[in-house]
Amino acid sequence: MCTLPELLRHATNGVSPLKGIIGEKLQTVSSSPIPPGCSCYGFHLAKDELAPPLNRIDAKFIHVVVHNPEKEITCYPIQRESGEKIYAVSFDFSGCFMALFEHGGILYAAHITTSSDQSVNGRAAFTTLIRGGITNYIVYNPFEGMEDHTAGIIEFTGFDSFHCYSFGQNNHSLRKREVNKNDAHVLTETAHPRPQSRCVLF
């Protein structure tokens, strides 16, 4: 078994197999409560639903959160057993943020929108969530220092045992990020998204 980042790095199609089933698998409603200011956009895949080589993953599930550029925060609730490793994935970062957070005892993966004209300000919305009831969180900018449209990947066993990655969707470059839990300073830094390049919904 291998970690998801290593499998993607050596897979011919990278994240394309995961992106390619968004239309088929996307869920926009959830039996779990959705936090204020968030919209449900995502799905999960069990290991036995994955084609080679991704079915060699060292976890039972991949949870995918899909971005909607008109929403401040899209999220997907994650059901898991305590201590169980999961992967959270989102695509097409060019200045947005990825997060994993706990709210009301439920774990969520999230894609936080930033737009250059500030017409959609997910930073402020996520800051409001932090002040209003998030108990633990991880947040980072997957696109920082990358040359390519980027997937964000969080390998998570617990808030004291996680790793964050950036994965180039075209060139398959992989970077491990230094991210601390409950540290939101990245949201206050100046963002420099590519001109005319925004996260898009597939």
Q: Indicate if the pLDDT at residue 196 is higher than 50.
A: no
Of 35 and 200, the one with more pLDDT: 35
What are 87-133's pLDDT values in tens digits? 999 999 999 999 999 999 999 999 999 877 778 889 999 999 999 88
Using CB atoms within 10 A of its CB, is residue 46 exposed (0-12), middle (13-18) or buried (19+)?
Answer: exposed
**Backbone phi, psi, residue 67, to 5°:** -85, 140
What are 18-48's pLDDT values in tens digits? 999 999 999 999 999 999 999 999 999 999 9
Instruction: Using alpha carbons, list the distances in angstroms from residue 1 to 46, 54, 57, 76.
Output: 15, 10, 5, 26
Calculate the CA 124 to chain-centre distance.
Answer: 18
The predicted structure's pLDDT at residue 190: 54
pTM, two decimals, is 0.91
Angle in degrees, CA 116, 187, 128, rounded to 5: 100
Calpha distance 195→176 (Å, rounded): 25
Annotated domain spans of the chain: 4-188
- Of the candidates 12, 13, 14, the one whose C-alpha atom is nearest the C-alpha of residue 4 is 14
**Helix (H) or strand (E) segment spanning residue 192:** none
Of 153 and 149, the one with more pLDDT: 153
Q: Indicate if the pLDDT at residue 191 is higher than 80.
A: no
What are 167-190's pLDDT values in tens digits? 999 999 999 999 999 999 999 875
Calpha distance 33→144 (Å, rounded): 31
